[in-house]
Amino acid sequence: MDTTHINLSDYRKHNLGPLLEIPQPPQELWSKGNLPPDDITLLAIVGSRQYTTYGKQALDYLMDGLRGYPIGIISGLALGIDALAHEAALRNNLYTLAIPGSGLAAVAPATNRGLAERILEQGGGLLSELSPETGAAKWTFPSRNRILAGLCKGTLLVEAGEKSGTLITARMTVDYNRELLAIPGSIFSHNSYGTHQFLKLGATMVTEPTDILYALGIEPVKPTAKITEITLTPNEKLVITILSEPRDKDTLLRQLTLPVSEANILLMNMEMQGYIAYDSPHYRSLI
């Protein structure tokens, strides 16, 4: 796929206009694939390379709840939360834009080049201020972070330790007058240090997908009563009631009090109908 060179004067033409609002915008950019459509709101997602199981579960839960909304996901194609954010966007048919800390012909890390290809294949894009053959270096990542923070309407901070580079993007988000959102974590986890610091400073706490929607100025679609009150069988209604919050399979089976084989068939059918989802090890309601 060809690489396109974009001059500063053409940013608005390519829906990159928000970059003109930040100090020292990149003077030129290179892109592959599709740049952001003009009818979506961009959310940057950043976090630790050394993520926890909780961080992944929280991110997957929130991203699944954004499916169908006019939201695009930006991240840095790094290991850890960045890659998980792109993967979740692809899984939920959301537009995603990767901004690596390297040129587009030398995507780093090399282990995520396959992910970069899938982003392009599924209608997303790659963007960099570095000439295509430029490799990643220490200085390229903080420089890249200003593009992440500047291009989006808001940044979601998933996990960040005390010295995480992710905190640079969070600070830039605030400096650029964008919305900063953060997922609370365990007080015993070093990966929660950064998120908790920004929550203390006024970042929007995110515990539900609707928190993201409201922060981005998008009205959530309210589920209709018809689905739960008319279409569902009594056992299906019971499952939805139990899943008022995500539960692991053992807990769900105990509360259903059905024979295990019957319960497994019920859960499988509800997954196929799109009523529930299983993000190991938890089931959660989609209605």
Of 57 and 272, which is predicted with more confidence? 57
Q: Are residues 104 and 126 in the same domain?
A: yes
Of 144 and 44, which is predicted with more confidence? 44
Is residue 197 domain-resident? yes
Whether the CA torsion 25, 29, 32, 37 is positive or negative: it is positive
What is d(CA 130, CA 175) in angstroms, rounded to the nearest whole number? Answer: 23
Is residue 27 domain-resident? yes
Is residue 252 domain-resident? yes
Q: Are residues 100 and 241 in the same domain?
A: no
CATH number of the domain bearing residue 10: 3.40.50.450
Q: Are residues 171 and 244 in the same domain?
A: no
pLDDT bin (cut points 50, 70, 90) of residue 228 is very low
Mean pLDDT estimate for the chain = 91
Q: Are residues 89 and 170 in the same domain?
A: yes
CATH number of the domain bearing residue 255: 1.10.10
Is residue 220 domain-resident? no
Judged against a pLDDT cut of 60, whether residue 249 lies above it is answered with yes
Average pLDDT of span 73-100: 95
Q: Are residues 122 and 177 in the same domain?
A: yes
The structure tokens 């499988």 sit at 268
DSSP for 103-123, written as a single string: -TTS-SSGGGHHHHHHHHHTT
Average pLDDT of span 175-197: 94
Percent share of the chain, pLDDT over 90:
68
Judged against a pLDDT cut of 90, whether residue 182 lies above it is answered with yes
Q: Are residues 151 and 255 in the same domain?
A: no
Q: Are residues 104 and 147 in the same domain?
A: yes
The structure tokens 């050394």 sit at 50
- 3-state SS assignment for residue 171: helix
Q: List, in sequence order, every residue forming a beta bridge with 247; answer none if it has no partner.
A: 283
pLDDT bin (cut points 50, 70, 90) of residue 43 is very high
The Cβ of residue 106 has, within 10 Å, a number of other Cβ atoms equal to: 17
Single out the residue in 165, 197, 215 at which a domain terminates: 215
For residue 45, the surrounding DSSP H or E stretch is strand 41-46
What residue numbers bound the domain in which 49 lies? 4-215
What is d(CA 189, CA 229) in angstroms, rounded to the nearest whole number? Answer: 41
What pLDDT score does 1 carry? 73
Q: What is the pTM of this model?
A: 0.77
Single out the residue in 215, 237, 265 at which a domain terminates: 215
Q: Are residues 16 and 117 in the same domain?
A: yes
Is residue 103 domain-resident? yes
Q: Are residues 230 and 199 in the same domain?
A: no
What pLDDT score does 179 carry? 97
What pLDDT score does 223 carry? 59
Is residue 127 domain-resident? yes
Is residue 182 domain-resident? yes
For residue 126, the surrounding DSSP H or E stretch is strand 125-128
Q: Are residues 249 and 165 in the same domain?
A: no
Single out the residue in 215, 243, 259 at which a domain terminates: 215
What interhelical angle do 234-242 and 249-256 show, nearest 10?
Answer: 140
Q: Are residues 281 and 170 in the same domain?
A: no
Judged against a pLDDT cut of 60, whether residue 143 lies above it is answered with yes
Percent share of the chain, pLDDT over 70:
97
Q: Are residues 209 and 233 in the same domain?
A: no
* Number of domains present in the structure of the chain: 2
